[in-house]
Amino acid sequence: MPALNFAISDDLTKLEIAVLDHLARTVRPGFCPSREELSRAAGLGGRGYRINKLLESLEEKDYVRVAPGRFRAITLLRTLDGRRFSFDTLWAPLIGQIVASRPLPSAGQLDNPFAGEAIELTRGLVRGRDDVYALRVAGDSMIDALVNDGDIIILTSASEVHNGDMVAARVTGDDGQESTTLKYFYRENGHVRLQPANPATLPLPPYHPSRVAIQGKVMLVIRQVG
């Protein structure tokens, strides 16, 4: 899966980033990591004084709220990028654009015009997954799947995909050049078929599995109206 790069707030130190990152990964309703666990996550060992000072600084910056006199009473208020934290929602970073037509070279997608943007989602929409990201669609080869040019797709990393899944796929061509595309995935006769959902789009040739890398599986489509 592509790296999920948020724009980290510039008012945080490296140690504060480590603490916030660990909090965001481990906090659950009714559970908070201990100060000792946060101290180890920041590379401080068991030094309680240092973690207390870090928490005081994060509280002053309005990233956490610490209840005095309680061992695990640390409330996460904001995440590393400064957005509000909620158990019910998450932020999917908008990391770029994907082509829903013939595959286009992926090099041009490294310049992400959406850097720092993110889509807020309820966790139920992505089945509680945290490893989600967003891409804007360019092209019309998936219009019969109700995915249009300009729509946003929400994807998750996919250790396993099945026939009929809509995927973001990186393809290596005969010339060794890599390209990316959004298509339906099928395994057939020892090959991979990437199927468009538009009768006006020419089908892609079958690929040897070694030439196709699945970047993510589509979980949700956000339609753009107007």
Residue 105 reports pLDDT greater than 80: no
SS3 133: strand
| 142-164 tens-digit pLDDT | 999 999 999 999 999 877 899 99
In the CATH scheme, what is the code of domain 89-222?
A: 2.10.109.10
Top CATH class, 14-76: mainly alpha
Residue 203: the pLDDT is 86
Instruction: Identify the residue whose tokens are 């504060």.
Output: 16
Residue intervals of the chain classified under CATH 2.10.109.10 are: 89-222
- pLDDT value of residue 1: 41
Region 121-148: what's the mean pLDDT?
89
Place 63 in a pLDDT band, splitting at 50, 70 and 90.
very high
61 is catalytic: no
For residue 7, name the pLDDT band (cuts at 50, 70, 90). low
* Residues 12-53: tens digit of each pLDDT: 998 998 899 888 878 888 888 888 899 988 888 765 678 889
From the list 106, 179, 183, 217, the catalytic residue is 183
Catalytic option among 39, 101, 141, 179? 141
Q: Using CA of residue 171, residue 176, residue 178, residue 179, what is the dihedral sign?
A: negative
pTM of the model: 0.69
End-to-end CA distance of the chain: 31
Question: Torsions phi, psi of 99, nearest 5?
Answer: -90, 125
pLDDT, mean of residues 58-63: 95
pLDDT of residue 50: 87
Length in residues, the chain: 226
Q: Is 14 a catalytic residue?
A: no
